[in-house]
Amino acid sequence: MAILKILQYPDERLHLVASRVDVFDDALKTLVADMLETMYAAPGIGLAATQVDVQKQLIVIDFSENRNDPLAIANPRIISTSGKSTLEEGCLSVPGIYETVDRAENILVEAQDIEGKFFEIKADGLLSVCIQHEMDHLKGRVFIEYLSRLKQTRILARMKKLARERM
Ligand code: K1U
Ligand code: ZN
């Protein structure tokens, strides 16, 4: 297994749109294992393939207390939504920034597992928000794009400063 590099906002590659996963082979299983290791090490509760510069519709999530209940989701598609949720979100691609975003409270998602088998996920609370956040990554969207122009400008300046300090 390997820890992958997580792209940092404002990296342009975070805006690429992912393609459907159509081959469910050993290479996909290795990618899922690497994404999980990367997410656990970060640490985070979710990670989208886009964030590790792989343009595939693939997400990993684990928000269990003991970090031992991983979920891998390929080709997620929202079938229905209801209600409204406003939770604080973070993002491994925008470290140190936590902001509330309006999302659907309940979602029903159709997806495929790493064998390609279709399944449905009914989610609410943090799982629902996390899935919506990760699905946005697959569409090239970063959560701060829901914020005001002023907040986005401030965050962009902070991220550019962080990048300069890392050099
Ligand atoms: O997509 C990502 O960058 C991962 C992100 C997922 C997420 C968190 C909260 C709301 C929506 C989506 C994170 O995991 S940020 C880090 C984080 O929330 C966390 C880290 C360690 C322990 C608990 C939470
Ligand atoms: Zn994120």
The one-letter amino acid code at 150 reads L
Q: For the chain, how far is it from start to end, CA to CA, in angstroms? A: 27
The one-letter amino acid code at 94 reads V
Please report the pLDDT score of residue 21 as a whole number: 98
Q: Quick check: is 134 catalytic?
A: yes
133 alpha carbon – ligand 2 mean position (Å): 6
| Residue burial 57-70, b: 16+ Cβ < 10 Å; e: rest | bbbbbbeeeeeeee
Please report the pLDDT score of residue 166 as a whole number: 84
Q: Whole-prediction pTM value? A: 0.97
Q: Which residues of the chain have pLDDT under 70?
A: none
Residue with tokens 């965050």: 155
Ligand 1 pocket: which of 51, 52, 65, 91 to mutate (most atoms within 8 A of CB): 91
On the CB side of 96, how many CA atoms lie within 13 Å of its CA?
Answer: 9
Domain ranges, ordered by start, for the chain: 12-166
Please report the pLDDT score of residue 1 as a whole number: 85
Per DSSP, the three-state class of 33 is: helix
Rounded distance between C-alpha atoms, residue 1 and residue 23, angstroms: 20
Question: What is the CATH topology of the domain spanning 12-166?
Answer: Peptide Deformylase (3.90.45)
Please pick, among 37, 134, 145, 165, the residue that the annotation labels catalytic.
Answer: 134
